[in-house]
Homo-oligomer: A and B are copies of this chain.
Amino acid sequence: MAHGSNKRQTVSLAEVAGAAGVSKMTASRVIRGASGFSMETRDKVLKQVDLLGYVPNRIAAAFGSEQTSTIIGVSVPHLSGGMFGFVLDSINTALAKTGYQTMIGAHENSVITEEIWVKNILSWRPAGLVLSGHSHTQSTRDLLKAQGIPVAEIWNLNTSPIDLSIGFNHSDCGYEMAQYILSQGYKRIGYVGADAHAPGMGRLRKNGFESALDAASMKFAAIEILNDRSGYYAGYYGTENILNRSPNLQAIYYQDDAMAIGGIFYCQSIGMDVPKDIGIAGWGGMEAASVLPQRLTTTIVSTQGLGRSAADALIARIRGEAVQDVTIIPTRLAPGNTI
């Protein structure tokens, strides 16, 4: 304050208007691209905008026009690794095109962290929210319903969503994969997952898989769920663990492709042949699998399609257009040669 000089170095709309010889309102109309001005005035105003280096103040705009801002909050488990980066990329691209700004939060699969984030983000009066993960605390749900704000729940399907649900049918993915693996004659099947303390959607796929096993009067021969986050190395030593306990497994279903790839390498490291000695299946259709010598048996999902659909649906809802409440993003079981 003493030696600094950061006292309103910004140019205001009033200054632009003054310099252009029009009223604030007219300048505002020109800058927003509203109607009610001549080409002549437009040029005068824009010239001053350029000259003075006017940067619009969206805080003031959002405040003045009341209602909501052009902010959209997006909450994901995490930004690194995994597949959410791809979803975020496509959501972000779609939203940026329509003039919205994304405010991102990472909840690490904790509903409490999510609740705190939701409260924070609501104080920015966002136009809408995108949430991922299956469950929310009751007070999160209450809060969102009370605010009446458009909300898109993504990644999984929620048959009774807060507002909109766009996602994959994880349970079906697991069910379908189980049927496929069983159809190939495998009997003793194990499961390797992660995030034991904060289960994500992998748990639904496991449950779906178990349903199919159950229908065939079977059960998982062994289950290994690590406390760590999913990843290549988690898959590697998760496989080590499960095979130490149950050396005679015939196949393993993994929480996702990263873990399945880790599993393939563990098997390779101990001289087991995939799929002759053991079958392996993942989920997701990760790019990393594309360079493996064998095609990984997995379920391919479109993270980009999910992101775009979510963004489109949310924007339509914000604009008051008709949208269907639940959108299923199709997935495809891709048989490879690891099963």
B293–A265 touching, CB < 8 Å: yes
Query: With a CB–CB cut-off of 8 A, which chain B residues contact A96?
Result: 105, 117
A88–B93 touching, CB < 8 Å: no
CB of A104 within 8 Å of the partner chain:
yes
A92–B119 touching, CB < 8 Å: no
| B-facing residues in A246-274 (Cβ within 8 Å) | 258, 261-262, 265-266, 268-269
Query: With a CB–CB cut-off of 8 A, which chain B residues contact A233?
Result: 287, 290-291
CB of A143 within 8 Å of the partner chain:
yes
Which residue from B57, B117, B265, B291 sits with its C-beta under 8 Å from A266?
B291
| B-facing residues in A70-100 (Cβ within 8 Å) | 71, 78-81, 85-86, 88-89, 92-93, 96
Shortest beta-carbon distance, A289 to chain B, in Å?
A: 8
How far does the alpha carbon of A266 sit from the alpha carbon of B293 in the complex, in Å? Answer: 9
Which residue from B6, B63, B287 sits with its C-beta under 8 Å from A81?
B287
Say yes or no: A104-B123 contact (C-beta < 8 A), given A287-B81, A287-B233, A291-B262.
no
CB of A18 within 8 Å of the partner chain:
no
CB of A138 within 8 Å of the partner chain:
no
Query: With a CB–CB cut-off of 8 A, which chain B residues contact A5?
Result: 148
A55–B122 touching, CB < 8 Å: yes
Say yes or no: A147-B9 contact (C-beta < 8 A), given A80-B88, A121-B101, A287-B81.
yes
Shortest beta-carbon distance, A47 to chain B, in Å?
A: 17
Query: With a CB–CB cut-off of 8 A, which chain B residues contact A86?
Result: 79-81
The interface bits of chain A over 2-25 (1 if a CB of B lies within 8 angstroms of the residue's CB, else 0) are 001110111000000000000000
How far does the alpha carbon of A177 sit from the alpha carbon of B41 in the complex, in Å? Answer: 60
| B-facing residues in A99-121 (Cβ within 8 Å) | 101-106, 117, 119-121
| B-facing residues in A131-183 (Cβ within 8 Å) | 143, 146-148
How far does the alpha carbon of A121 sit from the alpha carbon of B57 in the complex, in Å? Answer: 10
Query: With a CB–CB cut-off of 8 A, which chain B residues contact A106?
Result: 89, 92-93
CB of A56 within 8 Å of the partner chain:
yes
How far does the alpha carbon of A176 sit from the alpha carbon of B69 in the complex, in Å? Answer: 49
Shortest beta-carbon distance, A169 to chain B, in Å?
A: 23
Besides the known contacts A55-B143, A78-B89, A262-B291, 16 further A-B residue pairs in the complex with CB atoms under 8 A apart = A5-B148, A8-B66, A9-B146, A9-B148, A59-B125, A79-B88, A79-B92, A80-B86, A80-B88, A81-B85, A85-B85, A88-B104, A92-B106, A96-B105, A232-B287, A261-B288
Question: Can you give 8 contacting A-B residue pairs, CB < 8 Å?
Answer: A10-B147, A59-B69, A80-B303, A233-B287, A235-B291, A262-B291, A265-B292, A266-B291
